[in-house]
Amino acid sequence: MPEVVLTGAAGRIEAQYSPRKDETAPIALILHPHPKAGGHMNNPVAVQLFHLFMKRGFSVLRFNFRGVGRSQGEFDSGIGELADAATALDWLQSTNPTASQCWVAGYSFGAWIGMQLLMRRPETDGFISVSPPTNTYDFSFLAPCPASGLILHGSADTITQPIEVERVVSKLRTQKGIVIDYDLVEGAGHFWQNQLGEVERRVGAYLDRRLAVEPV
């Protein structure tokens, strides 16, 4: 899998990229969990998301936020990390200018960054948010949310209680023109220990449904 180095505002951004030969192949950006909690682009959930898109014919990019791995810079409480994500999406879009679709997928902290990126990129076709930390970060910026997507959460998540996520889902579902799928996995915690199979099954099923209606 090709390693690529992007140039971000804080310096080098370490990334891994899986390209497709088809020039119109859709693209997806994967965002990892919190850098200060050990998050990195090789986190199992982030890798699972990467492969789910890759198997469905997407050109996929995942990267390390500033200060993680070989990415330069220091943690910036989300502001710099959003800039990193925008840089990565810019690179992905410029490398694939005729891509048929554009998706953003994030896990935990990465889900928060991904949803902010979504607001700045209304051309995005869909999103996947796994375990969004809606009690830790303000998600009120989603007004309105520009794209349909899936929010996947665990019923046994003690870091972000499901009721906190459901408040955000309820607000999003009042918006016209988009569809928010909310999938609560019984017994799954925030870190998805022994539950990666559920991430694969549920996110995969959602992508298959969406792509059947909106072929790439």
What would the pLDDT profile of 115-148 be if each residue is shown by its tens digit? 999 999 989 999 999 999 999 999 999 988 999 9
Predicted TM-score of the model (pTM) = 0.97
pLDDT at 79: 97
Answer whether the bond into residue 19 is a cis peptide, omega within 30°.
no
Confidence band for 110, pLDDT divided at 50, 70 and 90: very high
pLDDT at 143: 81
- CA 10, 12, 14, 15 torsion-angle sign: positive
Please give the span between the terminal C-alpha atoms of the chain, in angstroms, as a whole number. 23
pLDDT at 1: 65
* Domains defined for the chain, CATH in brackets: 3-213 (3.40.50.1820)
Q: Is the pLDDT of residue 57 over 70?
A: yes
Q: Tokens 């997507």, residue? A: 149
Q: Is 81 exposed, middle or buried (0-12, 13-18, 19+ CB in 10 A)?
A: buried
